[in-house]
Structure 1
């Protein structure tokens, strides 16, 4: 007798339905076919032990398990549960009349308990799309899958519970989550707030501009000046995630297995801060079984690279293409996987190895040429993709001890949203562009027009400060964002003047 159950395979951030066919017939041995990896092949021992634990038997006949379509590689241990149920149905030990109505996934332990699996959200979305009645899965993952409506999410703890439910002998209420209620109640639950930061008003202003225009930022300053503290607070002033963005972000974290049991939906913009020893693959994604990297986990949020020159050169260079295309394509001999990577890059660095070059009080001990060599660890093409260069100076004692309440993240975000709304209106005919930082060069000339006084100021700045040619477009984009924050339709001289000061690393002689 041939029994059919249904599972799923995740490719990138999307899922495909896998049909698990089980036939128990004359002969001996266990055969698992359909391009399984080692973890899938090892399911025989887990399934056999689980069946015996609950009083069932592994057939001492020829058992053929086919995972179709056979040209898609099946990875991981999450096929244990559907294989076990298929064997029971095919060997006529149980009768499961509704087996074909459900997508079923779960890893079995030797005593039949279910362990959590990855990629539950995209699987649930695909199950609803294909018209399945429900999704049977480990209880640990039920909340995550339940944000998909019109699909019965049945969380079970053991193989026996799944059998009894499909036999109709056990009633399990589907897990239900009010997605919109969770989403709207979690939008403002940020751990850090700008009201905690005393002083550094110029840096807060730069962060406000960056958030409003989606600009990448690099902060240069001595140790203890507050670079990391400021970067951690940036997500709190970015515009709130839309529900669609929240679902996109949650899918990526689901595929990577980064969601915990009570996190049904990611409602805050992610903030990722990898250590400088990270490898190329861990940052961009990939591996033997392709997984999203840190830049995809920061999709719709912030990627913070602390001590930028300490990262390996190869790691930094692989970011150049994702910064432009806002996606990562991982190619293998038989498959190509796309992961979204639309993130804001925030980097920080010391001005020199000792950290005190240009410090107002402490003396730099670095020898001649060392500062320039340190800065040269960051390539020109990467620096070209960073719009704002911000010099961070130590906070004065008077500012640290001041009792004046600093501006809160909520107030700053309100201003950022006003600026973003103007950009949404401006780019409504270009669905791929929604903020000033994403403008291509030909659009910059059209959108960022300046008057004669502005041209004269920009010319003078480029000549006197020795600004490079690549600074030209960046200054115009940033000045457009500053004008948007001021609710101005035209770029005025004061907007240009403020934008020019955010190009520190382009100045000739900055590093001596």
Structure 2
């Protein structure tokens, strides 16, 4: 009897968990048996591995083969274990030295001809392997650039099983991943065709975008079609700074697990922009799946922007499902196989027409919807959801004279982004030593303990609380926006001008 051990990684959510792969080649009826909670795709690895080994010109053991995946209590899903299973079997059969495969991690799906195919979730898998320190990870050549993003890990790219086996046999220096600067280039790349200067008119909405970008706040825009709501939302990402390295790795890991990572740019260095259609299901927005739980739109928008156009057209239960991730910055998806938690710290931008017919009152075909119909339509956006929106802006149609007059005040995204970056730097210095980097992330307890504005500045908000137009949660939102307005103005603390403006944004009465 011969036993060989190696290692692989199982991805649970966006976290890599180490899996020990053992192969026992012994006496008994010839066949291969997988144990350790494999799913259907992993159970099919028996046939893929056998064909890959034989077609790579290596002998297949004519014996009973048992492959164990430890820990047995951890569900194993996907085909990324193929390479580790093949290497463990060849080690137990004496084709390759068993001691050479004990320490490295092996990730990859095998083709029937022995090719090593790329798999999802390589970045979180390599991050999981990196927690062991000084790890060596063998990955498919197509995933090498993504794996090389993790520091202090020796990445070995392999194109085929035969190439891998010969390297393990000889002990020669492994091939090195060809990593260029494309990932870093993406960190500062913005589509030049999208610029805030494209928006003429709507000065209040443009100001709201600047405040949202500076503080990471949520925004609701209400107005008839053709007023620029979608145009504004699509230009909000151009005002945001590049992701910091730890945030970029978080975002890249989520997109890797979802299988939507751009192959030419392994590093997601820009804040993502996700705009689901209003027919999207709850699972598509929040995350889900039957066998394999995948991240939804709220997680794909992590550290970026989630834009929901025609928001009242979304099912109400889908909109209300946003309330929990907006508060906690993460979402937990529970299925029969277990629960998976994904990060979901995003900026939410909602756009809505004032009524189902979407006709403005100042057009030749004026709106004929009754007040009841309008209330029912906008009532799909529940009060608890709108209570979590920091800023509300009414976007009206601009006249020709207003459009012509506003052209001299239009600014480019680069100009506004510079002010946003300076405001964020002020907030970062103030929040140094804490896990928060923007005003929108400050918890309520810390907000009122360490960052409460002065008594005079709080006067507009206390009046709102007394009159009932402001809730306790709304108070927190207004204070956070006031701090962002102070950062943009270069002030050390919010004054009454900032708190009044923040309260007006929250109430949606700006003009």
TM-score, length-normalised on structure 2? 0.89
Aligned to 1:440: 444
Whether 1:302 aligns to 2:292 is no
Aligned to 2:394: 391
Pick closer, same or farther for the CA change 1:5–1:496 going to 2, 3 Å: closer
Out of 422, 427, 446, the position equivalent to 2:431 is: 427
- Name the SS of the counterpart of 1:222 in structure 2: coil
Deviations 1:169-228 (A, max 9, x none): 87652115477x843663243452212322322211011111122210011111122111
Deviations 1:222-276 (A, max 9, x none): 1122111111111121233111111111121122222133222111011111111
Aligned to 2:237: 235
RMSD (Å) for aligned C-alpha atoms: 2.9
Paired with 1:144 and 1:81, the residues of 2 have a C-alpha distance of: 18
Q: Which residues in structure 2 correspond to 1:365-384 (within 5 Å)?
A: 365-384=368-387
Check the 8 A contact 1:461/1:500 in 2, yes or no. Answer: no
Pick closer, same or farther for the CA change 1:161–1:488 going to 2, 3 Å: same
Paired with 2:25 and 2:334, the residues of 1 have a C-alpha distance of: 38
Out of 472, 482, 499, the position equivalent to 1:479 is: 482
Q: Which residues in structure 2 correspond to 1:207-222 (within 5 Å)?
A: 207-222=209-224
Paired with 2:121 and 2:89, the residues of 1 have a C-alpha distance of: 25
Measure how far apart 1:398 and its partner are: 5.3
Check the 8 A contact 1:237/1:416 in 2, yes or no. Answer: yes
Pick closer, same or farther for the CA change 1:70–1:442 going to 2, 3 Å: closer
Aligned to 1:416: 420
Out of 82, 85, 91, the position equivalent to 2:84 is: 82
- Name the SS of the counterpart of 1:101 in structure 2: coil
Stretch deviating more after TM superposition (46-55 or 486-495): 486-495
Aligned to 1:101: 103
Whether 1:312 aligns to 2:315 is yes
Aligned to 1:8: 9
Measure how far apart 1:490 and its partner are: 4.2
Paired with 1:106 and 1:278, the residues of 2 have a C-alpha distance of: 32
Paired with 1:251 and 1:92, the residues of 2 have a C-alpha distance of: 36
TM-score, length-normalised on structure 1? 0.89
Out of 150, 154, 157, the position equivalent to 1:155 is: 157
Paired with 1:438 and 1:457, the residues of 2 have a C-alpha distance of: 18
Gaps (5+ residues) in structure 1?
508-512
Q: Alignment length, in residue pairs? A: 504
Paired with 2:306 and 2:461, the residues of 1 have a C-alpha distance of: 34
Check the 8 A contact 1:391/1:504 in 2, yes or no. Answer: no
Pick closer, same or farther for the CA change 1:424–1:370 going to 2, 3 Å: same
Aligned to 1:139: 141
Deviations 1:374-410 (A, max 9, x none): 0111111001000111111234445667875831212
- Name the SS of the counterpart of 2:505 in structure 1: coil
Paired with 1:444 and 1:128, the residues of 2 have a C-alpha distance of: 39
Aligned to 1:455: 459
Check the 8 A contact 2:148/2:177 in 1, yes or no. Answer: yes
Deviations 1:286-311 (A, max 9, x none): 33322222111111111111111111
Check the 8 A contact 1:448/1:491 in 2, yes or no. Answer: no
Aligned to 1:286: 288
Gaps (5+ residues) in structure 2?
none
Check the 8 A contact 2:104/2:136 in 1, yes or no. Answer: yes
Whether 1:26 aligns to 2:27 is yes
